[in-house]
Amino acid sequence: MKRPQLIASALAVAAPMFAGAAAAQDRPPLFPTRDVSVAYRVTETQGRPAGQPALPGMTLSWLAAAQTMRVDLAGMGWMVADHRAQRGFMVMEQMRMVMNIPMDQVAKHTGMSPTARFRRTGSATVAGHGCTVWNFEDGTDRGTACITTDGVMLRAQGSAQGQSGSMEATQVTYGTQDPARFRVPAGYQTMQMPQGMPNIPGLTGAPRR
C-alpha cells in the first residue's frame, strides 16, 4: 500500500468521532473540547489484501479551539484536517512533500456523514479514562465507539464494504498543543492528490453488532 493510502486508512478509523452534525440528536460530541493527544493501537481484522503491510501505530492530536486534527503514523508521515477552514493536507516527511486534499475527500476517508445515527449502549474505562459506548449506524455501515464526555474517542470497532478493524487508545495526554504542528511545513514541495484515491482498508465507520 502506498504511503498516502496508509495515512488515509489510519484517518478512517477515527470516523465515529466525526460521523454526523445534527446537534439535536442524541450523539457524542463532534470534537474534543480541549487540546489532547491520543496514541492508538490499530488492528485490521478483515479486508486487507494479502501482502499489504498492517497499519502502524497512530497518534491523533487535537487543536481544540481551531477544530483541527493531526494524524501521525509511525514512520510514515502525518495528515491534518482543519474542519473550521474546510481544508486538509498530507505530509510525507522523507520526501519533503505536501499533498493538499479537498475537504470532501477528507470527509470521505473519515466517514463523516450528516445521516449517521447513534444509540447509547453503556459505559467503559479505556486507558484510565471513562467513556460512553455508542452504537453507530450509517447506511450499511455499523459500529461502536467509546467516547468521553469531552469528545475524545478512546475505542472504536467497525465494518463497512467487506472491511473491518478496530482502534484503542493506549495513552491519553491532555495539554496545550503547538499550533505550528498543524500547519504546512515551510519549504516542502506541493503535489496533486492522485485521481481516484481509494477507500480505506480498515474502518470507515464503526463496529458491526
Which CATH number do you get for residue 20? 2.50.20.10
42 assigned to some structural domain? yes
202 assigned to some structural domain? no
pLDDT of 27 > 60? The answer is: yes
- Dist. CA 79–CA 58, nearest whole Å: 11
- Dist. CA 198–CA 86, nearest whole Å: 21
Q: Which three cell numbers stand for residue 25?
A: 440528536
Contact 64, 31 (CB under 8 A): yes
Q: Which of 49-58, 114-123, 197-206 has the lowest mean pLDDT?
A: 197-206
120 assigned to some structural domain? yes
Query: How do residues 82-94 score in pLDDT, each as one tens digit?
Result: 888 888 898 988 8
166: helix, strand or coil:
strand
Higher-confidence position of 137 and 25: 137
What is the chain's alpha carbon radius of gyration, rounded to the nearest angstrom?
16
Determine how β-strand 58-63 pairs with β-strand 36-46.
Answer: antiparallel
Q: Which amino acid is at 117?
A: R
35 assigned to some structural domain? yes
In order of 161, 171, 194, the CA distances from 204 in angstroms are 9, 23, 20
Give residue 3's pLDDT: 47
Taking CB atoms within 8 Å and a gap of at least 24, the contacts of 64-67 are 64/31, 64/32, 64/33, 64/34, 64/35, 64/36, 65/35, 66/179, 66/182, 67/31
Give residue 86's pLDDT: 82
| Total structural domains within the chain | 1
- Dist. CA 58–CA 65, nearest whole Å: 22
Counting residues of the chain whose pLDDT is more than 70, the rounded percentage is 66
Q: Which of 51-55, 91-95, 140-144, 189-193 has the lowest mean pLDDT?
A: 51-55
Enclosing domain of residue 174: 3-181
207 assigned to some structural domain? no
Query: How do residues 147-177 score in pLDDT, each as one tens digit?
Result: 999 999 999 888 766 667 788 999 999 999 9
pTM recorded for the entire structure: 0.77
99 assigned to some structural domain? yes
87 assigned to some structural domain? yes
The stretch 92-107 carries a mean pLDDT of 79
Residue indicated by cell numbers 496508509: 6
Tell how far CA 94 is from the center of its chain. Answer: 22
Q: Residue 49: name the closest of 158, 206, 209, 198 by CA.
A: 198
Give residue 171's pLDDT: 96
- Dist. CA 119–CA 136, nearest whole Å: 7
9 assigned to some structural domain? yes
Q: Which of 69-83, 133-147, 154-168, 188-202 has the lowest mean pLDDT?
A: 188-202
Contact 126, 146 (CB under 8 A): yes
Q: What's the CA angle centered on 112, arms 133 and 176, to 5 degrees?
A: 70
Higher-confidence position of 53 and 128: 128
